[in-house]
Amino acid sequence: MKIEAGQKAPDFSLYDTTKNKVTLSELKGKQVLLLFFPAAFTSVCTKELCSVRDNIAQYNQVNAQVLGISVDSVFTLGKFKEEQQLNFPLLSDFNKEASAAYGTLYETFVFDMKGVSKRAAFVIDEAGTVQYAEVLENAGDLPNFEAIEAALAVTN
């Protein structure tokens, strides 16, 4: 299913690296930036998430909650978060339900892996409506952070 701006964001509940369940609908009243990514410990994913880490103040100033999501286990994501000193939650979509709901699953990824999250970005407003949606077919590409920041009304 393809998610587009103007649609209600599909709800989900996923576990973070501290084994707490995070439910999207419970974040109403905050903007949310969902960043789906293929796999922890890969070069482009590390570059993307470390860039967000280094610019987290921009997201905090507009009351935006950043959530990184991949199909990696909570244990893998926990080690990745610790090693990269990421300052926002990483959520495990191990069962691939959120990735499927947002239309962000590769049928086949590298090494014949099935059901890996595509790199994607979604900005969800305080009411739970998608304001920005970008799903990248090429895992080597990064989301358009200028467009994301504009959707969040981030000022530099």
Residue among 35, 45, 71, 135 flagged as catalytic: 45
Question: Do β-strands 120-124 and 130-135 pair in parallel, antiparallel, or remain unpaired?
Answer: antiparallel
Active-site annotation holds for 50:
no
Residue 70, beta-bridge partner list: 92
**Neighbour count for residue 24 (Cβ, 10 Å):** 20
Residue closest to 101 by CA, chosen among 135, 74, 51: 135
**Neighbour count for residue 28 (Cβ, 10 Å):** 12
User: C-alpha angle 31/11/37, rounded to 5°?
Assistant: 75
Point out the residues that are catalytic: 45
